[in-house]
Chains A and B, each alone.
Chain A
Amino acid sequence: MAEKEWEPKIVAFCCNWCSYGGADTAGMGRFQQPSSLRIIRVMCSGRIDPMHVFNAFLEGADAVLVTGCHLGDCHYVNGNYKAEVRYQFLEEMVKQLGLEPERLQLNWISASEGEKFANFVRDVTAKIKELGPSPLKPEGVN
């Protein structure tokens, strides 16, 4: 059998109420996706810690997705606004680390937006396949 095409590894932080539900809805709708995604569930996008995102890159993530409820829909009033502020800091960090900006993405996805979730995963995976493995990925790590 031919050698399988390289599959990037993408870590997605999802909030329990919206984007995690969006991933569930994508599954229920059987929206097929590349097998690149590894979801870390947190209660709210406000819990997504830049230090954790940084760590994901250091461990070997080819991309990291920060996701949550649409602005105004956060179950804890405004956690996603805080996530957005922290995200700006992360964007700066990604630049400093010399990573391509596409390796870090922010998206607000509701629990009903299964198709949007699936398309997001497809698009990011395709982009990362073009870019190849992250320069921060430690040697020999998969």
Chain B
Amino acid sequence: MAQDESITGTENAKDIRIGVFVCECGTNIGGVVNCRAVADYAATLPNVVHSVVNKYTCSDAGQSEIKQAIKNHNLNRVLVASCTPKTHEPIFRACVEEGGLNPYLFEFVNIREHCSWIHMQDKDSATKKASELVRMGVSRARLLEPLQSNEVPVTNKALVIGAGVAGMQAALDIADMGYKVYLVEKNPSIGGKMAQLDKTFPTNDCSICILGPKMVEIARNKNIELMTYSEVEEVDGYVGNFKVKVKHKPRFIDTTTCTGCGLCVQKCPVEVPYFEFNEGIGTRKAIYVPFPQAVPLRAVVDKSVCIDCGACIKTCESHSINMEQKETFSDIEVGVIVVTTGYDIYDPEPKHDFGYGLCDNVVTGMELERLLNASGPTMGKLVRPSDAKPPKRIGFVQCVGSRDKNRNRYCSGFCCMYALKDAQLIREKYPDSEVYIMYMDIRSPFRNYEEFYDRARDMGIKFIRGKPGKVDEDKNGNVTVRIEDTLTSNLYNLELDLLVLSVGAVAGESSEHIRHLLKVSRAADGFMMEAHPKLKPVDTNLDGIFIGGVTQGPKDIPYSVSQGSACAARATRYLAQGKATTEGITVEVDDDVCVGCGICVPMCPFQALSLVDGKLNIIKALCKGCGTCATACPTGALQQNHFKNEQLLAQIRGAFTFEGE
């Protein structure tokens, strides 16, 4: 660190010694940009005392070369021209620090994503542009200043938002590592979509039978504070120190005394014709227990339909019903946040895909799961909605809402497998049924999935390759599907009793709300975006915030569980270390220049600025370094470190040259 002292605002321009490292990235850059020419050009720029080409600058050899060069050439600035700072800036900052320089005396120039990869057919222009980008970087590097990043203590608690199977796994793993976890779930029970499923592929074991014990484990775990029927309202702070406000919606039940016996439900006179847990099939009461295995196994009152007759209150032996309950709030402090808010099922109703919403006997995959489920509205007896008769001929349409340019382009991944599953379940239960799967391709990677597909074919399930055209329902409820088998070019009018749409996943509405609150990026498919598609699949661009399960994109249960565990491991690193480093890039005010006008104060979205006795006061811990206030400062007294006016202006100036220069 001794080196830092010599590089201060008072250093002389002639003392600045810049080392330039131009990376070929194998042929990624080297195949398009003439890196030798770029390095030679850089060597002619003022203050550049060392300029070389590396095959891979980020490799061990490349990094050693940087550290060596800092010593051998007495460098006090390092510039790497390679890929993107989004992935590699931390690596090179650490490298120059190991070489004895302040990490902020490092300048990054992107000549891969922003040059070689987008000018592949024009090598001359790419080389010229790369040289200019390096020139811009050198101009800025000259004015870089050392900064100190701050170490902050980490609150050793975690928040997990969303208690589907992914969130449950994350919470259990963090809790088992010895840390306190707040698990927030918006519904009255935990479990997510998996609690609604009948069986699970590829082993066809009963979904709730494997999920139920895990749900109980959550309730029993002393390190987990479960908050059901609750939602995150506000999030403030940064890695290690998040302050979160959680809203607890009123259940109108004292959950500490309610036993979930269900007597109240029997007495309630109000039948609600839409039971969410059963995908709208069948009814529930105004007071209800979400499902027999719910955790917590407690009743909840739907006030929007309750007629205040008091029948439930009279029957409740434990006096647990309190119609006066109000919503309450908790303020919690956590060091890390894991988001596992799952997904919404694609809704075929608005566009009436394949007659859904127009024909009674066209249902979604999830509706079928409930119809097959022993604790579902029909006790597991498969009937068709129009007349409650058992269907004999059942068809599945694949890729509904997925792999369709007018809906969603992506593949939802799990719908082929669940159709194969449900088709098998139907054939097992009703051996005289006929089952058809209408598909574009069957996607069945991973262990035992292809074998599962083979099994379906062996069981006599018929596969028709093609997408149905017209779907009609006659007055008896029989459905006719017109389809061309694209393998044989045969045209069929398939007569069915029940048509099941294998609907996929879409980004959840309540996930989107959380995404906004936390400022997590959104990928093109609408789901939350990871920091790196391969190397950081559950990290986000925000330190201390992680995403797992279908929140991050469609995936099945095993994959969701793995991501839940991955989130736990990634998040717990901070809790175990007990400290995190925050950006050194904050704002600073020159008291001699500041006139105390206060224009900057309302600019800050984090209340980091205030006027104290006519002087600007900055609370560094609150400043997140956006620089918005510095832009508003009329005198230039307020400057954003690392993005000071003169640094940015130098970089802009570097983009231009006089002819022949």
**A interface residues, Cβ below 8 angstroms from B:** 4, 7, 9, 11, 16-18, 20-21, 23-24, 26-28, 30-33, 35, 37-44, 46-49, 51-52, 55-56, 59-61, 72-79, 82, 86, 110-113, 118, 140-142
Q: In the bound complex, what is the Cα–Cα distance between A116 and B115 (angstroms)?
A: 17
The A-contacting residues of B in range 583-626, CB under 8 angstroms, are 585, 603, 605-606, 624-626
Q: Is there an interface contact between B125 and A7, defined as CB atoms closer than 8 Å?
A: yes
Cβ-defined partner of B627 (8 Å) among A20, A44, A110 = A44
Q: Is there an interface contact between B626 and A44, defined as CB atoms closer than 8 Å?
A: yes
Q: Which residue of A lies closest to B519 (CB)?
A: A75
Residues on B with beta carbons closer than 8 Å to the beta carbon of A16 = 86
Determine whether B45 belongs to the interface, using a CB cutoff of 8 Å to chain A.
Answer: no
Q: Is there an interface contact between A55 and B521, defined as CB atoms closer than 8 Å?
A: no
Q: Measured between C-beta atoms, what is the minimum distance from B568 to chain A in Å?
A: 25
A-contact bits for B369-408, CB 8 A (1 contact / 0 none): 0000000000000000000000000000000000000000
Q: Is there an interface contact between A43 and B652, defined as CB atoms closer than 8 Å?
A: no
Cβ-defined partner of B524 (8 Å) among A39, A52, A79, A113 = A113
Q: Is there an interface contact between A28 and B643, defined as CB atoms closer than 8 Å?
A: no
Q: Measured between C-beta atoms, what is the minimum distance from B128 to chain A in Å?
A: 7
Q: Which residue of B lies closest to A57 (CB)?
A: B652
Q: Is there an interface contact between A35 and B125, defined as CB atoms closer than 8 Å?
A: yes
The A-contacting residues of B in range 111-126, CB under 8 angstroms, are 112-115, 117-122, 125-126
- A140 and B659 contact, Cβ closer than 8 Å, known pairs A46-B628, A82-B628, A112-B521: yes
Q: Is there an interface contact between A17 and B521, defined as CB atoms closer than 8 Å?
A: yes
Cβ-defined partner of B522 (8 Å) among A31, A51, A110 = A110
Residues on B with beta carbons closer than 8 Å to the beta carbon of A78 = 605
Q: Is there an interface contact between A79 and B605, defined as CB atoms closer than 8 Å?
A: yes
Count of CB-CB pairs between chains A and B under 8 Å: 155
Residues on A with beta carbons closer than 8 Å to the beta carbon of B529 = 111-112
Residues on A with beta carbons closer than 8 Å to the beta carbon of B651 = 40
- A42 and B118 contact, Cβ closer than 8 Å, known pairs A21-B521, A112-B521: no
Residues on B with beta carbons closer than 8 Å to the beta carbon of A118 = 118
Cβ-defined partner of B519 (8 Å) among A51, A56, A74 = A74
- A51 and B605 contact, Cβ closer than 8 Å, known pairs A44-B628, A46-B627: no
**B interface residues, Cβ below 8 angstroms from A:** 84-86, 110, 112-115, 117-122, 125-126, 128-129, 132-133, 136, 516, 519, 521-524, 529, 541-542, 585, 603, 605-606, 624-628, 630-632, 640, 643, 645, 648-649, 651-653, 655-659
Residues on B with beta carbons closer than 8 Å to the beta carbon of A46 = 603, 626-628, 631
Q: Is there an interface contact between A9 and B626, defined as CB atoms closer than 8 Å?
A: no
Q: Measured between C-beta atoms, what is the minimum distance from B322 to chain A in Å?
A: 38
Q: In the bound complex, what is the Cα–Cα distance between A140 and B661 (angstroms)?
A: 10
Q: In the bound complex, what is the Cα–Cα distance between A51 and B636 (angstroms)?
A: 11
Residues on A with beta carbons closer than 8 Å to the beta carbon of B630 = 47
Q: In the bound complex, what is the Cα–Cα distance between A28 and B121 (angstroms)?
A: 16
Q: Is there an interface contact between B119 and A35, defined as CB atoms closer than 8 Å?
A: yes
Q: Is there an interface contact between A112 and B114, defined as CB atoms closer than 8 Å?
A: no
- A141 and B656 contact, Cβ closer than 8 Å, known pairs A32-B119, A49-B631: yes
B85, B125, B626, most chain A CB atoms within 10 A: B626
Q: Is there an interface contact between B521 and A18, defined as CB atoms closer than 8 Å?
A: yes
Q: Is there an interface contact between B516 and A72, defined as CB atoms closer than 8 Å?
A: yes
Q: In the bound complex, what is the Cα–Cα distance between A94 and B512 (angstroms)?
A: 37
Extra contacts, 15 of them, besides A27-B118, A28-B117, A86-B631 (Cβ < 8 A), are: A17-B519, A21-B541, A27-B117, A35-B125, A47-B626, A47-B631, A49-B645, A74-B519, A75-B519, A76-B628, A82-B628, A111-B521, A140-B659, A141-B659, A142-B658
Q: Which residue of B lies closest to A52 (CB)?
A: B648
Q: Is there an interface contact between B649 and A52, defined as CB atoms closer than 8 Å?
A: yes
